[in-house]
A and B are shown apart, each in its own frame.
Chain A
Amino acid sequence: MAVTDRVHTPPPTRQRPPRDRRVKRLAFSRKVSTWDVKLSPYLYISPFFLLFAVTGLFPLLYTAWVSLHEWNLIGGQGDFTGLENFRFVLVQPFFWNAVGNTFSIFLLSSVPQVVLAIAIAAVLDANLRARTFWRMGVLVPFVVAPVAVGLIFNNLFADQAGLFNELLTGVGLDPVRWHADSFASHIAIATMVNFRWMGYNALIFLAAMQAIPRDVYEAATIDGAGRLRQFLSVTVPMLRPTVIFVVITATIGGLQIFDEARVFDQGGLGGADRQWQTLTMYIWELGWGQRNFGRASAVAWLLFLIIVVSPLANFLPTRRIADQGGRR
């Protein structure tokens, strides 16, 4: 109908009214069914997006609005300041320190986490006795609350009285200064993150591994490939989509590390020299410590941009690694 509108229609007097009505009705019901086909899928998924608009998009945009103002936690909205909050935050050494810490902790946790999770999944994929027990077992750390994990590890990593340093001095090594040395603190925090997430990722990998057709392995066995060779040349390349999925979710989660780092000492500000202050903790310090919501929102938005860009950046190398495996 839209098309016929544009051409010059013949005078209406030439058309017979009953026929016209029938055509219209037919056109209408066809239209309804076209709508049904075209719109229904969107209607079915719309609850998610409506909910997202309320709980995700609105806070996102509101945060952007807050970041353009002076804004106190209790006092509320102040003057419009344009991009001043962003300018202020971007010249702060504390901001860049937090960016560095965030990426350092993220790399120290994500890389070993993915590698070890694949290894654990491969072991769980083998013919074990009491399979379900072992598979559920790796998930136990995941159901422990992060703050509880933090408190337990906090005692293990205590500089003087902690178990890890007791063990190190026991075998004649120097104790590690977990709360003074920046890199050591990152390792300690990454350990907590790994402890919590490794089993979870291992189960995702395990599910993907079980979807790999067994005849591929049989063919490899006939070709004379051993277990290790099969793992590297068949399992890992076939896991490619799952690896990408896990890497992206690990990036999103890893860049927002908060709980483990916050409970690493009692102050919760990331150490006396901000050795392990992550971006989310910096947001906390600005927003709730200094009550400056404007600056906190500016950092929150910068973090959002970093999170959006990062998976794209590591999508490429991830794909190349998987591709190389596939070509062999």
Chain B
Amino acid sequence: MNPRTRFITLSAAAASLVLALSACSSGASENSGVEGETGAEDVTLSIGTFNEFGYEDLFSEYEELNPNVTIEHKKAATSDEARDNLTTRLAAGSGLSDIEGIEMDWLPELLEYSDQFADLADPAVEGRWLDWKSAAATTEDGALIGYGTDAGPQGVCYRADLFEAAGLPSDREAVAEMLEGDWQNYFDAGKEFVAASDGVAWFDSAGATYQGMINQVENAYEENDGTVIATENPEVKDIYEQVLQASVEDGLSAHLTQWEPDWVASFQSDAFATKLCPGWMLGIIEGNAEGVEGWDIADVFPGGGGNWGGSYLTVPTQGAHQAEAKKFAEWLTAPEQQIKAFESKGNFPSQVEALESETLLSQTDPFFNDAPTGEILVDRANAIEVRPFKGPKYFPINTALQQALTRVDVNQTDDADSSWEKFVTAVGAL
């Protein structure tokens, strides 16, 4: 055999081997779904995340525990990018990672296509999460399409120095006591504050405040059967009017839109004194308000508890290694691992057991005047009672309503009534 023929023979042999292997692996996993055997053959699991899930160290730990698994991490910069990627590849029917991270707000749309995701319900994970967390990812037939990762229980962040200057109580227990109650109470405190301070607003944005309020309404925009009631629901209109009354008429808003450059810059200029803040917002405030002293967080939320954001891990049915993927997702979302993710990136865990963890409870944040943020957020998580129903049209309707608020609060090109009319038109066009 001369070198050339040997090479050809070898590559032909390799090619047929590869063909045989790939035929074998795809054949085996297609039939097994999430119930298949795990730990036997070598697999490469891909996982798609966005922003910061805090999993980097956990990946190598899992690879050590499971020598047959190689992990490939695909990280999108923003959640919007991840969402576009997810929907496009769902539509294409291929190309998704074995595990895909999703945000809570996408769930209503994804639940419509729950057959695209493996049912992850398992006796081993029953009762692992806070009730509302797992309920949001459960279909009507009881299939669980995602394992909860983190949650966004909200407290009230405030500027103690500005409170003091306006003659309001400034230590966090007294502030919690003052703000305990309904939203009107929160706005009344705001009126008192604005009257006594020099050009500082009470909260940053009408839209952000509205979001905190609407997340406490069970059926805001849609009935459980999907009927759109957004424009007729008196609760929605009441909240809309109440928040605009407070923002514009009473001048409590700093007239900003969340995430815009003006909003980011406002943290440096004493533009407002309070802000509704889920756990993950603390890092954002800290970043934007670098060098500003006086931020603190109170263990209170107007109108009862509230959640904003948080993510899940799903296993798309188009994946080739669903059983291995499920096992991996189960491990990642176990309380012990989520505590490690919390230590790494501050993601507040959504697991019942994790809320009792000493690591979590003893967490303090020097930027927020050494507030016991772990303990406060655990309290806030336990205060959440309402699970708002979000149907398939939640996303576009809520966007239209946020635009309506922005027109009045930020742009000031409309008053509350004319902007509401436009909202009704926009909902009619869906």
Contacts and interface: CB of A to CB of B under 8 A. Distances in A.
Interface of A: 73-76, 92-94, 154-155, 158-162, 177, 179-181, 265-269, 271-273, 288-291
B407 interface: yes
Given A272-B410, A273-B403, A288-B84, A74 B90 contact: yes
Interface string B419-430: 000100110011
Contacts of B112: 74-75
Interface stretch (B60-68, B136-144, B254-262, B342-350): B254-262
Contacts of A93: 425
The 8 A-B pairs at the shortest CB distance, nearest first, are namely A272-B406, A180-B411, A161-B265, A158-B261, A272-B403, A266-B259, A160-B262, A272-B407
Contacts of A177: 411
A203 B261 CA distance: 35
Contact of B262 (A73, A92, A161, A271): A161
B411 to A, nearest CB: 4
Contacts of B396: 289-290
A179 B402 CA distance: 15
Contacts of B407: 272-273
A158 B266 CA distance: 12
A112 to B, nearest CB: 26
A162 B265 CA distance: 10
A289 B392 CA distance: 11
Contact of A160 (B87, B116, B265): B265
A224 B413 CA distance: 57
Given A159-B262, A180-B412, A267-B399, 11 more contacts: A73-B91, A74-B113, A74-B116, A75-B112, A158-B265, A161-B265, A161-B266, A269-B403, A272-B403, A272-B405, A291-B109
Interface in B182-200: none
Contacts of A155: 261
Interface of B: 80, 84, 87, 90-91, 109, 112-113, 116, 257-262, 265-266, 395-396, 399, 402-407, 410-414, 422, 425-426, 429-430
A13 B252 CA distance: 109
Nearest to B408: A272
Contacts, number: 78
Contact of B87 (A73, A76, A154, A266): A73
14 contacts: A73-B87, A74-B87, A74-B90, A74-B91, A160-B262, A160-B265, A179-B410, A266-B259, A267-B402, A267-B403, A269-B403, A272-B257, A289-B396, A290-B430
Contacts of B116: 74
Given A273-B403, A288-B84, A266 B411 contact: no
A158 B261 CA distance: 6
Contacts of B91: 73-74, 76
A10 B214 CA distance: 95
Contacts of B257: 265-267, 272
A158 B260 contact: yes
Contacts of A265: 257, 260
A180 B87 contact: no
A76 B115 CA distance: 14
Nearest to A287: B87
Contacts of A92: 429
B298 to A, nearest CB: 28
Contacts of B395: 289
B356 to A, nearest CB: 37
A77 B69 CA distance: 38
Nearest to B411: A180
A92 to B, nearest CB: 6
A266 B403 contact: no
Contacts of A75: 112-113
Given A269-B399, A273-B403, A291-B109, A154 B413 contact: no
Given A93-B425, A161-B261, A273 B413 contact: yes
Contacts of B261: 154-155, 158, 161-162
A126 B165 CA distance: 65
A264 B183 CA distance: 33
B124 to A, nearest CB: 30
Contacts of A179: 260, 410-411
Contacts of A271: 411
B403 A180 contact: no
A89 to B, nearest CB: 10
A93 B404 CA distance: 16
Contacts of B429: 92, 94
A28 B78 CA distance: 66
Nearest to A160: B262
Could you say which of B80, B261, B262, B414 has the most chain A C-beta atoms within 10 Å of its C-beta? B261
Contacts of B262: 158-162
Contacts of B422: 273
B87 A291 contact: yes
A159 B406 CA distance: 14
Nearest to B260: A266
A154 B260 CA distance: 9
Nearest to B261: A158
A180 B256 CA distance: 12
Nearest to B83: A288
A180 B402 CA distance: 15
